């Protein structure tokens, strides 16, 4: 199953919270440039899964290899984190820093980049997420959609090979969802490897190469968006889709 | 409000004293218009220097020790957390006065038996005791301040490649400091008041001087009233500063 050279290789992944098993033997390979959308009911383990990929959650057993680096110790975790960007549901911008400082903190402190270079790179990515004019404001002065776009730019400033999105639009007002999804679609079209946990099925149809449906800590169904939406194989998946698409 | 009431109450005692029949009250002991009263008042007020110096140094040391205790206390590893927990529980359980006696009379003996010949004078004995005793509370203030910064901030810092020290320095502490400073300043008021205990080991601060004057003048009511007013003034100054700090921090937070 494991092909050398995949962006992410996960096998037999288990995660427990006390007595509760959040992930039950997950196997998942993600090719370079592949765009995966993970969906499923809340509590299905989809967030836990992607948080294991950059070790924000420690897994209990199983193997995780990211871009050829096997997650075994702190050094390999740090190496993996420098390849993997992450965008959170709650943005998690640093509220005491300006937008520009939010973007340059990682490149300057973790990568030792000069301020001039970091500023230049930050402005470049702010243009890509279409908010260069907000660079000197504080996060709280921006709308939710703008904050999430800043969070995406902040991740991109570390020039990751893989991007993880943990429900990036769930905390947004409806009118701001599309501006964030546009930015993610742009990234997808440029060939970024990404795993997106989301309930935005329109986005999934447009951008995903592969859909993954999870429930109770297991991968229930995978397939292309067309297979997934037109002909779901399992009963649980059909039920989930009917609930989520009826609006 | 509390301070205003206390202040008015103090004034009332003073006024009653001045109008009462001769023989019951004796404000003359601290009446600056008479040479003796002037000397007495100077003697008492000269204690301010020692009380302030004692409190400031003890508070500074407590802030440093508190941080050294608090940081391992927040580790995810329970074996790193444990010593910090033990220190806090242990230190917090010892009343200040017994600890002061132990440090002043006992610690030199312990040090001597270890081959270290250091005599601890009243000044440093009091400072060490106040600093250690207060550090348990300071550590808890740091811990709650730092832990009140959302977990998401640490996670975001990790994903942009920051290590633990960088995360603390650039992300967590700048945010936590706004929540830590006001309670820390409050804790300073506590140190100022507790510094009065230093009088029992002979430290010449406000309370010691008042005690000494009472012994020679036999005017406890007047002298201790002044003593209380002395602390009141000190604490009022600090609490105005704390209020100012809280307002400043508060307005920063909402920005």
Reported ipTM: 0.91
**B34-66 tens-digit pLDDT:** 888 889 999 999 999 999 999 999 999 999 999
Is residue A65 within 8 Å of A8, Cβ to Cβ?
yes
Is residue B57 within 8 Å of B51, Cβ to Cβ?
no
Chain A residues within 8 A of B155 when measuring between CB atoms = 56, 86, 88, 92
The minimal CB distance from B159 to the residues A54, A94, A140 is found for A54
Dihedrals phi, psi of A117, to nearest 5 degrees = -65, -45
Q: What percent of chain B has pLDDT over 90?
A: 62
Q: Which of A150, A143, A208, A142 is nearest to A175 (CA)?
A: A143
Cβ–Cβ below 8 Å for A95 and B175: yes
Cβ–Cβ below 8 Å for B152 and A54: no
Going by pLDDT thresholds of 50, 70 and 90, the confidence category of residue B28 is confident
Query: Would you tell me how many other CB atoms lie within 10 Å of the CB of residue B168?
Result: 18
Cβ–Cβ below 8 Å for B171 and A155: no
Per-residue confidence (pLDDT) for residue B177, from 0 to 100: 86
Cβ–Cβ below 8 Å for B159 and A95: no
B25/A12 Cα distance (integer angstroms):
87
Per-residue pLDDT of chain A (247 residues; tens, 9 = 90+): 445 579 999 999 999 999 999 999 999 999 999 999 999 998 899 999 999 999 999 999 999 999 999 999 999 999 999 999 999 999 999 999 999 999 999 999 999 999 999 999 999 999 999 999 999 999 999 999 999 999 999 999 999 999 999 999 999 999 999 999 999 999 999 999 999 999 999 999 999 999 999 999 999 999 999 999 988 899 999 999 988 877 6
Question: Chain A interface, mutation test: which of B77, B152, B161, B254, most A Cβ atoms within 10 Å?
Answer: B161
Question: What integer best gives the mean pLDDT of chain B?
Answer: 88
B9/B3 Cα distance (integer angstroms):
10
Cβ–Cβ below 8 Å for B152 and A90: yes
Asked if residue B93 has pLDDT above 70, the reply is yes
Which of the pair, B136 or B219, is modelled with greater confidence?
B136
Q: For A138, name the nearest residue in chain B, comparing CA atoms only.
A: B255
Going by pLDDT thresholds of 50, 70 and 90, the confidence category of residue B152 is very high
Going by pLDDT thresholds of 50, 70 and 90, the confidence category of residue B6 is confident
The sign of the CA dihedral B180, B186, B189, B195 is negative
**B111-130 tens-digit pLDDT:** 999 988 888 899 999 999 99
pTM equals 0.78
């Amino acid at each position: 199953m494991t092909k050398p050279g995949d962006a992410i290789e996960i096998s037999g992944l288990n995660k427990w919270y006390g007595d509760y098993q959040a992930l039950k033997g997950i196997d998942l390979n993600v090719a370079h440039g592949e765009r995966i959308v993970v969906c499923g009911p809340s509590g299905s383990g989809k967030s836990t899964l992607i948080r294991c990929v950059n070790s924000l959650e420690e897994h209990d057993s199983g193997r995780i290899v990211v871009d050829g680096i096997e997650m075994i110790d702190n050094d390999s975790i740090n190496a993996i984190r420098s390849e993997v960007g992450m965008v959170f549901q709650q943005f998690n911008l640093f509220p005491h820093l300006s937008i520009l400082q939010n973007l340059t903190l990682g490149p300057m402190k973790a990568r030792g980049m000069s301020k001039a270079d970091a500023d230049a790179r930050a402005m470049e990515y702010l243009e890509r997420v279409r908010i260069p004019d907000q660079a000197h404001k504080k996060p709280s002065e921006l709308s939710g959609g703008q904050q999430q776009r800043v969070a995406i730019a902040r991740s991109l400033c570390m020039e990751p090979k893989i991007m993880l999105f943990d429900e990036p639009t769930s905390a947004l007002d409806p009118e701001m969802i599309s501006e964030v999804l546009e930015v993610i679609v742009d990234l997808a079209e440029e060939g970024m490897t990404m795993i997106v946990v989301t309930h935005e099925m329109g986005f999934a149809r447009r951008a995903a190469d592969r859909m993954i449906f999870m429930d109770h800590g297991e991968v229930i169904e995978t397939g292309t968006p067309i297979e997934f939406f037109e002909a779901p194989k399992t009963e649980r998946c059909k039920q989930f889709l009917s609930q989520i698409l009826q609006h | 409000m509390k301070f205003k009431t206390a202040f008015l109450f103090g004034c009332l005692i003073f006024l009653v004293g001045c109008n009462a029949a001769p023989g019951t009250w004796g404000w003359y002991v601290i009446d600056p218009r008479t040479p003796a009263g002037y000397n007495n008042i100077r003697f008492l007020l000269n204690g301010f220097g020692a009380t302030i110096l004692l409190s400031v140094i003890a508070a500074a040391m407590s802030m440093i020790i508190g941080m050294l205790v608090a940081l391992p206390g927040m580790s995810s590893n329970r074996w790193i957390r444990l010593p910090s927990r033990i220190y806090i529980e242990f230190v917090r359980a010892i009343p200040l006065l017994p600890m002061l006696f132990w440090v002043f009379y006992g610690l030199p003996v312990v040090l001597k038996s270890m081959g270290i010949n250091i005599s601890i004078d009243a000044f440093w004995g009091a400072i060490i005791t106040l600093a250690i005793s207060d550090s348990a509370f300071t550590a808890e203030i740091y811990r709650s301040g730092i832990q009140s910064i959302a977990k998401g901030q640490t996670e975001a810092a990790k994903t942009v490649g920051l290590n633990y020290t960088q995360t603390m320095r650039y992300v967590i502490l700048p945010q936590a400091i706004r929540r830590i400073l006001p309670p820390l300043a409050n804790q300073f008021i506590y140190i100022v008041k507790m510094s009065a205990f230093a009088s029992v080991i002979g430290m010449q601060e406000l309370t010691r001087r008042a005690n000494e004057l009472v012994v020679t003048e036999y005017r406890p009511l007047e002298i201790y009233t002044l003593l209380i007013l002395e602390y009141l003034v000190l604490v009022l100054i600090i609490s105005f500063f704390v209020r100012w700090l809280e307002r400043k921090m508060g307005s920063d937070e909402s920005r």
